[in-house]
Amino acid sequence: MALPVTDESLWFRRFHPRPEAEVSLVCLPHAGGAASFYFPISELLPPTVEALAVQYPGRQDRRHDTPIENIHEMAREIFEALTPLTAHRPIALFGHSMGASVGFELARLLEGELGTVPVALFASGRPAPSHHRSLDIHRRDDAGLIAELHLVSGTDSRILGDAELLRLTLPAIRSDYKAAETYEYRPGARLRCDIVGLAGDSDIRVRAPEMAGWREHTTGSFRLEVFSGGHFYLGEQKAAVAGVITDTLRAATARPRRPID
């Protein structure tokens, strides 16, 4: 008999289940990305950290689901699926590119509506919310969108070289770019969780001051980790990134948790 489809099974992929983990790390992909992007990071994490890789609608096993073209709506949907899991163990968030914006809004919902302060927010390869800008890439024709994918090297080269696969994935990629580029930052209370910014030193899409701007969005600590590489430095630096995640969460969980006033 088929298992029931739950919000959790729709949204989260556990590539390496760790029932005894102390922290759940919710991993949010970039525009056009899928949960599988985080498989290598999940594999490298210690037994104390279990990765929950988010599967956005419109790709891979959710390819028949309608993509979401709004960051706030995306964060709300993930929040609703994640809420039951917050009772089991502390939550940390890791978002790359568009995923960092989703992670920021998800952290706001966790703190504002549940009173749950994430252990940390890892914001990778994305300007701070208050520094948001758009290149209107989602308005380009298919050739222009594909050119951008080649430029930042964020899409599996097998897909870029396969016309049929590309035809199937472009609608979701365009929807993601629309969500990322039409994102509207809404001023409000700063987060209480610590924020760790991560960036590639040759990323053509993110400038250093824009990454430093994440400091403005938390009353907790902030630091910036810079790695060798471009916008998708994670592919080459996955071991180093997993090390930063591990060390940060180990230190954070050793400290007393701060309740929301």
Residue 54's beta-bridge partner residues? 12
- Would you call 97 a catalytic residue per the annotation? yes
CA distances to 18, 136, 140, 245, 252 from 23, in Å? 10, 37, 40, 11, 10
Two structure tokens written together for 151: 């430029």
Q: How far apart are CA 55 and CA 77, in angstroms?
A: 12
Annotated active-site residue in 96, 138, 217, 231: 231
Q: How far apart are CA 31 and CA 180, in angstroms?
A: 7
Strands of 29-107, DSSP E: 49-54, 91-96
Strands of the chain, DSSP E: 12-13, 23-28, 49-54, 91-96, 120-124, 194-200, 222-227
Annotated active-site residue in 24, 30, 96, 97: 97
Q: How far apart are CA 127 and CA 206, in angstroms?
A: 6
Which burial class, exposed, middle or buried, applies to 15 when counting CB atoms under 10 A from its CB (0-12, 13-18, 19+)? Answer: middle
Taking only Cα atoms into account, the Rg of the chain, rounded to an integer number of angstroms, comes to 17
Which burial class, exposed, middle or buried, applies to 77 when counting CB atoms under 10 A from its CB (0-12, 13-18, 19+)? Answer: buried
Q: How far apart are CA 244 and CA 63, in angstroms?
A: 32
- Would you call 231 a catalytic residue per the annotation? yes
Q: Which residues are catalytic?
A: 97, 231
